[in-house]
Structure 1
Amino acid sequence: MPTNVKPEEKSVVAQLNFDTKTAKRVAWSEWEFTIVGPFEIEVCNASYGFKKRDHVYRVMIDEQGEPVSCTCKGFKHYHGPNDRVGKHMLAVAAVGGPTVLNAAVDFDPAPAPVKADGGCECDGHEFPCFECYRSGRRELP
């Protein structure tokens, strides 16, 4: 069947190798995504409710936004050696989609603004910037 989709607009999911069982597990689960670094996405299976923090893994993607690896045991022992993506990688591509993938590709961690004298631009203000507060350099008033 002919389509109107250009080759460069093809879905990442269509390019991935996965089985039916993996697709069903992704569809039946609830997912949460956090961009934690350039090309790095934290994936949480929220279906586990209050135990969901025990089911958090990191999925790495390449420059084209395609998942390439995962920190879970399933990828290391089963999916990776069989040249297939696991459920966390498929969830990033199918559920997170282009929004999450593009955000991870374009991620640019902004460092705290630093003055020439080594201080921060927030030094002249009552409240610290997030980076100064997080690092413990400044406390809230």
Structure 2
Amino acid sequence: MRGTSAVPRGASMSNRNVLSHLTFTKRVAKRAQYEALECSLTTRGVLVRNTSHAKPADHEYLVTVRNGIPISCECPVDDRYDGACKHRVGVAIRTPLLQAATDHSLVADGGTQIENNPETHTDNSDSDQPADCDCDGLGGFPCWPCVRSGRRDLLEE
């Protein structure tokens, strides 16, 4: 059964652009709005839990977002029927969540995320030291990460 695209009430212009890429019924749009969908960002996508059910853990599905569009869901409805399920539409209408999933996907696909891990530094008082510094094992010679960052210069003989 092929549904028609129905734009949920109150959708912003950016929501409408995303929703124009999805096909879904009015029923799906309503359920995506009124059911208690709890969403959390994971490394693989957006985990959507429907807390409207008596056993919410049995109604938890992963929605995959690509290029700002919720393209798939692990729920049986998304697999069985044409058109987007309520979980995909639910992610699409939650603009901050969709933006976070899109940004997270870009970092995971090749961007660089810098973490400050003081345990990797031998001298925790030096906040300019790169996380991959290996100067201590080089007998006074600077490591390449420190040279590239400008923290240390090559020694002149």
- Cα offset, 1:8, TM superposition: 7.8
Name the SS for the 2:23 alignment partner.
coil
Q: Secondary structure at the match of 2:91?
A: helix
Q: What is the root-mean-square deviation in Å for CA atoms of aligned residues?
A: 3.1
Helix, strand or coil at the partner of 2:20: helix
TM-superposed deviation, 1:43: 0.7
Moved over 6 A (4+): none
- SS of 1:48's equivalent? coil
Q: Secondary structure at the residue paired with 1:11?
A: helix
Q: Which consecutive residues of structure 2, in runs of 5 or more, have no partner in the other structure?
A: 1-12, 125-157
Q: How many residues align?
A: 107
Residue aligning to 2:80: 77
CA 1:87–1:10 in structure 2 vs 1: closer, same or farther (change >3 Å)? closer
CA contact (8 A) 2:15 2:92 kept: no
Q: Which has the larger radius of gyration?
A: 2
Give the partner amino acid of 1:101.
L
2:15 counterpart of 1:16: no
Structure 1 segments unaligned to the other structure (5+ residues): 1-6, 125-141
For residues 87-136 of structure 1, the C-alpha deviation after alignment (integer angstroms, 9 at most, x for no partner) is 11001011x2x211111111147586568xxx635xx7xxxxxxxxxxxx
1:98-137 to 2 correspondence within 5 Å? 98-107=95-104, 108=107, 113=116, 120-121=120-121
Q: 1: distance between equivalents of 2:27 and 2:73?
A: 18
Q: Which has the higher contact order (CA 8 A, sep 6+)?
A: 1
Return closer, same or farther for 1:120/1:112 CA change in 2, 3 Å cut-off: farther
- 1:52-97 per-residue CA deviation (whole Å, 9 max, x = no partner) reads 111110000112x11100011111112xxx2x11111001011x2x
